[in-house]
Structure 1
Amino acid sequence: MKKFLIRSLLQIIPVLFLISLIVFVLVHVTGDPVTLMLSDTATDEDRAILIKALGLDQPLYVQYFKFLGHLVQGDFGNSFRYQEPALPIVLERLPASFELAISSMVVATLIAIPLGILSATKRNSFLDVFVTGGAVLGKAMPSFWLGIMLILLFAVHWGVFPVSGQGTFAHLVLPAITLGTGVAAEMTRLIRSSMLEILQQDYIRTARSKGLLERIVIYKHAFQNSLVPVITIMALQTSHLIGGTLITETVFSWPGMGNLLIQAVNQRDMAIVQAAVFVVSILVILSNLLADLAYRVLDPRIKYN
């Protein structure tokens, strides 16, 4: 386990290096930052001074190594919208995105686990067809459409929940359901297929032949051993929810990192974009590492050699 951790941490270094290169290239192909930062009344002299101040008159490789040096120190530059360092602004929005992502994953888990198990144990029944059909529908629904429908029904028409913003538990319900629905649909199908495979194994037939209660066979022997692929999708979806809640946060005006990133892209605030993309990348890497560690806990047969 120790060797696995060391090797995994060392592998993160070239991945981060590649991410930094991609972010640097993407920022430079999106447009001229000087034009965006200067007013319409700026002169050519003002433009030349700003280009030199930003180091844009230097070769690209020199700019990249300077960018890399600042990145190691956590310096992504100043946001020209907020006139403050970009990274603290992104990190300030991160807890709100964490709150929404974790709540969405809780909603998805509470929906997916019982429905996936029921669908597998009642294979080819009406319940199975209903659950799998609902999972396909839930996966096919665009999150922005579902969010708007929930706002119209529960906020505008019935007045049960707030329309937007953050503050109380009620503000969290609609965006969490919106994000959790798509994840729940994917997890339900995965749990069903994993459970169907496990239920055909010899040790399940042996457990039943010993006279064990069916619920013990299902939840202790079958479900526990079907969790490895489920942990994989949960880890991937958690990192996706943290960094990919762009549309949902915009629909519900949720003050998270996704909403901040959308505003930064629209305003070409590239310091914010760079910092947000890099933070999301690190979160994805860490969530995958935690998933690898969880495999060993769930299935001792897995070895990290």
Structure 2
Amino acid sequence: MGKYIMRRLLQIIPVLFIISFIVFCLVYVAGDPVALMLPEDASQEDILQLRESLGLNEPFYIQYFNYMVGLAQLDFGESFRYNTSALPIVLERLPATIELAVAAMIVAIMIAIPLGIWSATKKNSAIDVVATGGAVIWKAMPNFWLGIMLILIFSVMLGWFPVSGRGTWSHLILPAITLGTGIAAEMTRFIRSSMLEIMNQDYVRTARSKGLKEFFVIHKHAFRNALIPVVTITALQTSTVVGGTLITESVFSWPGLGQLLIQAVNTRDMAIVQASVFIIAFIVIAMNLLADILYKLLDPRITFR
């Protein structure tokens, strides 16, 4: 297993290289940030001087080479908006995004696991129809619309929670529900499908024939063996969580990485954009590796070749 983890860690390098190249190309063609940095009445000489100081007058391949040299040293350049190195700014916002992502996953798991098990054990019943239908509807519901509705109902009308910002646990509830319910809808369907498949296995029928209570059959025998697909979808939802924070953080003015990235895109702050996408990509890759490790812990029969 150690060799497998080492190989996966080495595979991260070319993946991050490809991602960095794509991001650099997209930022390169997005436009000239000099136009946003200088006033409209700036002279052509000022524009050329600033472009030269930022290295934007160099050919594409030279700019990319300089970018890769800095990337090897974890130096993404200086943010012209904050007048400081980009990476510390991104890392400063990262804890807020992780806090929201973890809270959203907790909400998703608390909803999806009991609902998925209940739906599977009550197959084709009214509960199953409501749960699966509700999951489809909830999955199709846009995050920004749900967030706005939660703000109108629970913040403006009832006054139970703050409208926006970050500080206390009450600031976290509405953003976590907004982001977590969409993930729960996806996970509920996977848990239901996995449970239905496992419950038809011989060892589950054997457990029932021994006279074990249905609670122990479901939770000790069936659900534990159904966890591998659940771990898979949970790891795959990492990208959904990170992507969802971009919108959710904007709706609730949550001071995280998503809000920072959107502001950087709007102002063409290339250093912030590149550093943010690099960190997000690394988190997603690390979560996929963690899922592979959890497979082995859940089922010792799994071997890595």
What TM bracket, shorter-length normalisation? over 0.9
Question: How far is 1:39 from its partner?
Answer: 2.2
Residue 56 of structure 1 aligns to a residue in which SS?
Answer: coil
Residue 108 of structure 2 aligns to a residue in which SS?
Answer: helix
2:22 matched residue in structure 1: 22
2:81 matched residue in structure 1: 81
Question: How far is 1:60 from its partner?
Answer: 1.4
1:62 matched residue in structure 2: 62
Question: How far is 1:291 from its partner?
Answer: 0.6
2:196 matched residue in structure 1: 196
Q: With structure 2 as the length reference, what TM-score do the two structures score?
A: 0.97
Of residues 248-257 and 36-45 in structure 1, the stretch that sits farther from structure 2 once superposed is 36-45
Of residues 262-271 and 52-61 in structure 1, the stretch that sits farther from structure 2 once superposed is 52-61
1:290 matched residue in structure 2: 290
2:257–2:276 CA contact under 8 A, matched in 1: yes
1:179 matched residue in structure 2: 179
Q: Deviations over 1:100-146 (max 9, x none)?
A: 11001001100100000000000011111111111111101111111
Letter in 2 for 1:185: A
Q: With structure 1 as the length reference, what TM-score do the two structures score?
A: 0.97
Of residues 241-250 and 15-24 in structure 1, the stretch that sits farther from structure 2 once superposed is 241-250
1:108 matched residue in structure 2: 108
Letter in 1 for 2:156: V
Question: How far is 1:269 from its partner?
Answer: 1.3
Q: Deviations over 1:28-87 (max 9, x none)?
A: 110112222222232222222222222223221121111001011111111111111111
Q: Distance in 1 between matches of 2:135 and 2:292?
A: 27
Letter in 2 for 1:88: P
1:259 matched residue in structure 2: 259
Letter in 2 for 1:302: I
Q: What's the % identity of the aligned pairs?
A: 68
1:120 matched residue in structure 2: 120
Q: Distance in 1 between matches of 2:106 and 2:181?
A: 11
Q: Distance in 2 between matches of 1:52 and 1:151?
A: 46
Letter in 2 for 1:281: A
Of residues 258-267 and 43-52 in structure 1, the stretch that sits farther from structure 2 once superposed is 43-52
Q: Distance in 2 between matches of 1:58 and 1:154?
A: 53
Task: Give the length in aligned residue pairs.
Answer: 305
1:240–1:284 CA contact under 8 A, matched in 2: no
1:208–1:217 CA contact under 8 A, matched in 2: yes
2:268 matched residue in structure 1: 268
Residue 245 of structure 1 aligns to a residue in which SS?
Answer: helix
2:97–2:258 CA contact under 8 A, matched in 1: yes
Structure 2 stretches lacking a partner, 5+ long: none
Residue 159 of structure 1 aligns to a residue in which SS?
Answer: coil
1:41 matched residue in structure 2: 41
Coordinate RMSD, CA, aligned: 1.1
Letter in 2 for 1:146: L
Q: Deviations over 1:167-205 (max 9, x none)?
A: 111111111100011001001010000000000111111
2:150 matched residue in structure 1: 150
Question: How far is 1:239 from its partner?
Answer: 4.0
Of residues 20-29 and 41-50 in structure 1, the stretch that sits farther from structure 2 once superposed is 41-50
Q: Deviations over 1:216-260 (max 9, x none)?
A: 111111101111111111112234323541111111111111111
Q: Distance in 2 between matches of 1:84 and 1:244?
A: 28
1:108–1:180 CA contact under 8 A, matched in 2: yes
